[in-house]
Structure 1
């Protein structure tokens, strides 16, 4: 198969399953990109996700762009990015055409309530996998806890907390004498 078409179709499959946004797609990306195709390692996928959090744009699009670029440079990035947004574009266009006519129906409201709960489960699964991989010692546990409390309870900016966590990680490596 053409490698660019493969990128497009793989990310189109991921894009179809991204109800709930980028966090909900992490298990699907894990299966498609890491397990099935070996285009990235688990660590690389987590890094792409972390960078995608810090950069402007949608996490799903950023992650697709990073992986596409890794595989086939600019043309790969374009194919992967187009693939991940294409299903959403089609689905949203179809929904927009009919939502006003059906949104008041109880069955539609119940369907969306069910979808929201399923998305919460997918997000929790993603968080669990990332925490198991990312929390490797007491310091990383403290960073996780402080970041969660700062963002969820105090309301600090997630970007600020990511920058502070990176700084703590760098300083910790320097104090331990680790060099790359």
Structure 2
């Protein structure tokens, strides 16, 4: 169980190597799940609330979500230099390894066992992503209105097959308004 108590911030080389390890050992996706386990639960460099806020931001910005999340975590941990350490750590070693693997895969692509192994890796990644999504949903749904936005978003994308862009353009302002009024109401109660 994670606590919301963060540990002292690591050095730049520690950030680089932690992100490198995640980038090199997380196959088939699900990186945000690995990142949460590593930085929130094991190392306790950031709290779960901070991580989920960063995850929401990283998914709202253009680009690769895990790179955006790495940038956010690196910045939280060590400012601009932390951004560079985290981003290079998550991207460079994995990119070099992927180039090497692509060359090797091109030579053995006809093997049925390779395709079975890749399907197994994909299944594990989907499981990690599902776990992360359920955890984030549990935290985000703190009332009827947030639940309705979540259910409406799910329905619009997965059942009605609406364009993700249009769903985000509609759901994001609703979510922001709901959060604003919840924060405002909470502040008034605290007085």
TM band (smaller chain):
0.7 to 0.9
> Who is 1:10 aligned against?
18
Q: CA RMSD in A?
A: 2.1
Question: Partners in 1 of 2:78 and 2:181 — Cα distance?
Answer: 38
1:57 partnered with 2:57:
no
Corresponding position of 2:185: 178
Report the alpha carbon displacement of residue 79 of structure 1 after superposing the two structures with TM: 0.4
Shift of 1:161: 2.9
The 3 A distance-change label for structure 1 pair 96 and 135 is same
How far, CA to CA, are the matches of 1:108 and 1:72 in structure 2? 40
Aligned length: 177
TM-score relative to the length of structure 2? 0.82
Residue 152 of structure 1 corresponds to 158
Q: CA deviation at 1:17?
A: 3.1
The separation in 1 between residues aligned to 2:66 and 2:56, in whole angstroms, is 11
Deviates more, 1:170-179 or 1:74-83: 170-179
Q: Tell me the residue number matched to 1:124.
A: 130
1:107-142 per-residue CA deviation (whole Å, 9 max, x = no partner) reads 111111111111111111111111111112221111
Which stretch shows the higher mean deviation, 95-104 or 25-34? 25-34
TM-score of the pair, normalised by structure 1: 0.87
1:54 touches 1:159 (CA, 8 Å); kept in 2?
no
5+ long unaligned stretches in structure 2 = 1-9
Determine the structure 2 residue equivalent to 1:83: 89
> Who is 1:108 aligned against?
114
Give the secondary structure class of the aligned counterpart of 1:178: helix
Q: Are the equivalent residues in 2 in contact too, given 1:49–1:63 (CA < 8 A)?
A: yes
After superposition, the C-alpha distances for 1:51-71 in whole angstroms (9 at most, x for unaligned) are: 111112111111111111112
Q: Check the 8 A contact 2:149/2:175 in 1, yes or no.
A: no
**Structure 1 unaligned blocks of 5 or more:** none
